[in-house]
Amino acid sequence: MAARQATGTPAADHATFAGGWNAPWFRRFRRDKMAVAGVIVVLLLTLMAVFAPYLAPYDPAEQHIIYRLRGPSEQFRMGTDEFGRDVLSRIIYGSRASLIVGLASVFLAGVVGTVIGGLSGYIGGRFDLMVSSVVNVLMSFPSLLLGLMVVVVLGPGTTNVIIAVALSLLPNFIRLARGPVLALREREFIVACRAMGASTTRILFKHVLPNILGPISVMSTLWIATAIRTEASLSFLGLGVQPPWPSWGNMIKSGVDNILSNPWLAVYSGLAITVTVLAFNVIGDGLRDALDPKQKTL
């Protein structure tokens, strides 16, 4: 019996995402109408990004100079920008940049940050002190400022923006992973695993990671929204996705330059960012409530 308990995490610790479609947490999530609406919006945005060539009426870089700065019409549903490019087509293609940067940067920061934070909390000692000191320094900078400093060093471009945003979110993931591991490493099943000679890697990935996956997943959803806002801000400053490739951030910059005469340029791209960020936020809130152990099992 002792050996069986030592080689596996207690069932309660693994129950965060267990149970499939009929799991109590998933039933609670489905009852949250706002969270379900957020999932639908994200799915529609993803489909829009994937099938952009089929949905966009024009090439996003195609210029119609004679129609520059035209308002919404039957030919151009959302009007045109200062180069005569169709705003609707650029909104559709711009979803690609936002989703790619948001998802890729959070995934990168989540994987690296969870590993570093888990090792820091489990190993402790000088390594934990060093990691905590670096995290404290990095978290003293706002995420946008930290991302701005990184992208200035690396240069503009989609890949560099992903790296910059990931580095700006990395301290959050390290701190989020480290806290629970500090408590888990003294639990009976972890102590038993160490006594039986299990390696640090096996303990972390088989017994510790499943227990911290819930809060990391919730915060990842919320931080995708932060990553999208950061990407839009960097593109607005000219350090993100570079023209002629469309990004909602550089579209807002174009709209601000013509805000008095042609306000729709900034309004449509601003609404796109707002809806996307709100969708990810309500999904994160719904996951947090659904995974809350204090919630009543339905």
| 19 belongs to a structural domain | no
Average pLDDT in the 112-117 region?
Answer: 90
The separation between CA 47 and the C-alpha centre of its own chain, rounded to angstroms, equals 18
Residue 214 is assigned to a structural domain of this protein: yes
* CATH number assigned to the domain comprising residue 279: 1.10.3720.10
pTM greater than the 0.75 cutoff:
yes
pLDDT band at 21 (very low <50, low <70, confident <90, very high): low
| Interval 164-220: pLDDT, tens | 999 999 999 999 888 888 887 777 777 787 778 777 777 777 777 877 887 888 888
Contacts 24+ apart (CB under 8 A), 230-234: 230/143, 230/144, 230/147, 230/165, 230/168, 231/97, 231/98, 231/101, 231/102, 231/105, 231/161, 231/165, 232/98, 232/273, 233/144, 234/144, 234/147, 234/148, 234/151, 234/161, 234/164, 234/165
* % residues pLDDT > 90 (the chain): 26
pLDDT for the residue numbered 202: 77
**DSSP run (H or E) holding 269:** helix 264-290
Decide: residue 145, CB within 10 A, 0-12 exposed, 13-18 middle, 19+ buried.
exposed
Does 28 fall in a domain? no
Taking only the tens place, the pLDDT of each residue in 239-294 is: 888 877 888 888 888 888 777 777 888 889 899 999 999 999 999 888 888 877 56
> Is the distance from CB of 231 to CB of 102 less than 8 angstroms?
yes
Provide the domain count of the chain: 1
DSSP-derived secondary structure letter, 242: P
What's the domain range around 112? Answer: 34-290
80 backbone dihedrals φ, ψ, rounded to 5°: -130, 160
Tell me, yes or no, whether 169 lies in a domain.
yes
